[in-house]
C-alpha cells in the first residue's frame, strides 16, 4: 500500500489543486492579522513547510501549533487552520475548541471524523482529503490545501498552479533516476543512527525526512537546521562514531553564508563518522524544490524499510499510546 501511495505523490499534488480550486470559500468576518496552523505528525508537517515557504513573503505572522492549547494572542483577528487527517486527533480538537471560544476565523483540513462533522455543521471553510490512508502519505494534499487556503484568504500570493503541475510532470518523467538516487542514499544509511540537516527555509524538509525514517523505516535519529546547529549541536559531534550518519540537504535557495556553513559543518562531522551524505534539491522555485525533496526522501524511507525488514505500515506503538491515553482522565 505505501509503495503505491509514494508512487502516486505526483498525482496527489495535482488532484489537491483541482479539489482546492473547486471549493467555495466564504470571506472572513474580520481582518486577519495573524495565522495559527494547528496539527501534529503527518497532519502537521505541511504547516511547517508552509511557514518555511511563506515567512519571507507574507505580511502577517504564521505560527505553528503542535499542542492542546493555542497561544494567548488568538482572537477574532486570528485565522486558525486546524489540520487532522483522521479528524479525531485529540490535541487538534482541543485547539479547535479553543479557537471557537476565542471567536477565531476557523478553517479545517481533514478526511473525516469529528472535525469534518463540525466543519459542515457550523459552516467553516474546509477541504477534504481522500480517506483511509496513513496521514504521512497524504502530505501532498495537506500541503497544497494549506497553501490554497492562505491564498483564498488573501494572505499569500505565492504562484501555485504552474509550480505544482511542472513538478508533477518532472517527478513522473524522472521516476527511475529519483529511485536510483534514493537507493544510493539508502545503502549508506542502513543500520545507522542518522542526523538530517537543512538550511533555514528548508528545515521542515529535514523534519519530514526524519519523521519518515522514524515511522516508515523504524529508525531512530534527529534533525537540525543551519545556522542554529552551528551554535551548539556541532560540538556534540566530537562524541560521534561510525554508527552515526549525517545527511545534508542543499537547495539553490539557501543563503550563501549558510551554504558555506553547511560545507564547513560537513567537513567537521567527517572527522567523527565516515558517513556524511549530501542531497541536492532540483527545482526552479522553493516550492518545486520542496516537492522534489519530499518525493525523493519518501523513496529513501521506503527502501530503508525493505532493507531493515520492517512493516512500513506498522504504527502499533502510537496506537498503544492513544489507547492508554483514552483510559486516562
Catalytic positions, please?
215, 231, 322
Buried b (16+ CB within 10 A) or exposed e, 99-115: beebebbbbbbbbbbbb
DSSP 240: -
Q: For residues 83 and 93, what is the distance between their CA atoms, to the nearest angstrom?
A: 9
Query: Over the Cα atoms of the chain, what is R_g?
Result: 20
Dmax over Cα atoms in the chain, in whole Å?
Answer: 59
Q: In terms of DSSP H, where are the helices of the chain? A: 2-7, 9-21, 41-54, 90-101, 113-122, 139-152, 161-173, 175-189, 203-215, 233-236, 256-269, 286-308, 316-326
Given a contact cutoff of 8 angstroms between Cβ atoms, the answer to whether 70 and 38 are in contact is yes
Given a contact cutoff of 8 angstroms between Cβ atoms, the answer to whether 213 and 304 are in contact is yes
DSSP string, 306-326: HHHT--TT--HHHHHHHHHHH
* Beta-bridge partner residues of 82: 38, 108
Q: For residues 145 and 44, what is the distance between their CA atoms, to the nearest angstrom?
A: 12
Handedness of CA 302, 306, 312, 317 (dihedral sign): negative
Amino acid at each position: 500500500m505505501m509503495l503505491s501511495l509514494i508512487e502516486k505523490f505526483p498525482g496527489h499534488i495535482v488532484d489537491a489543486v483541482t479539489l482546492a480550486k473547486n471549493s467555495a470559500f466564504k470571506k472572513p468576518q474580520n481582518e486577519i492579522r495573524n495565522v495559527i496552523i494547528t496539527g501534529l505528525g503527518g497532519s502537521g508537517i505541511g504547516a511547517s513547510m508552509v511557514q518555511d515557504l511563506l515567512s519571507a513573503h507574507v505580511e502577517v505572522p504564521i505560527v505553528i501549533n503542535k499542542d492542546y492549547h493555542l497561544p494567548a494572542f488568538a482572537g477574532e483577528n486570528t485565522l486558525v487552520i486546524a489540520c487532522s487527517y483522521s479528524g479525531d486527533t485529540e490535541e487538534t480538537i482541543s485547539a479547535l475548541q479553543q479557537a471557537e471560544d476565542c471567536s477565531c476565523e476557523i478553517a479545517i483540513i481533514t478526511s473525516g471524523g469529528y472535525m469534518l462533522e463540525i466543519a459542515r455543521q457550523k459552516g467553516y471553510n474546509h477541504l477534504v482529503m481522500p480517506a483511509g490512508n496513513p496521514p504521512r502519505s497524504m502530505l501532498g494534499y495537506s500541503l497544497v490545501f494549506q497553501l490554497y487556503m492562505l491564498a483564498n484568504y488573501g494572505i499569500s500570493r505565492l504562484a501555485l498552479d504552474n509550480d505544482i503541475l511542472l513538478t508533477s510532470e518532472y517527478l513522473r518523467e524522472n521516476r527511475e533516476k529519483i529511485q536510483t538516487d534514493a537507493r544510493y542514499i539508502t545503502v549508506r544509511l542502513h543500520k545507522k543512527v542518522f542526523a538530517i540537516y537543512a538550511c533555514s527555509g528548508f528545515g521542515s524538509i529535514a523534519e519530514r525526512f526524519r519523521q519518515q525514517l522514524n515511522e516508515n523505516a523504524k529508525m531512530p535519529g534527529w534533525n537540525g537546521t543551519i545556522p542554529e546547529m552551528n551554535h551548539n549541536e556541532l560540538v556534540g559531534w566530537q562524541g560521534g562514531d561510525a554508527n552515526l550518519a549525517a545527511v545534508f540537504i542543499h537547495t539553490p535557495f539557501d543563503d550563501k553564508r549558510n551554504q558555506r556553513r553547511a560545507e564547513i559543518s560537513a567537513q567537521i562531522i567527517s572527522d567523527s563518522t565516515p558517513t556524511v551524505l549530501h542531497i541536492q534539491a532540483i527545482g526552479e522555485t522553493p516550492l518545486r524544490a520542496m516537492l522534489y525533496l519530499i518525493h525523493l526522501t519518501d523513496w529513501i524511507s521506503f527502501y530503508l524499510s525493505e532493507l531493515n525488514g520492517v512493516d512500513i505500515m506498522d504504527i502499533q506503538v502510537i496506537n498503544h499510546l492513544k489507547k492508554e491515553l483514552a483510559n486516562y482522565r
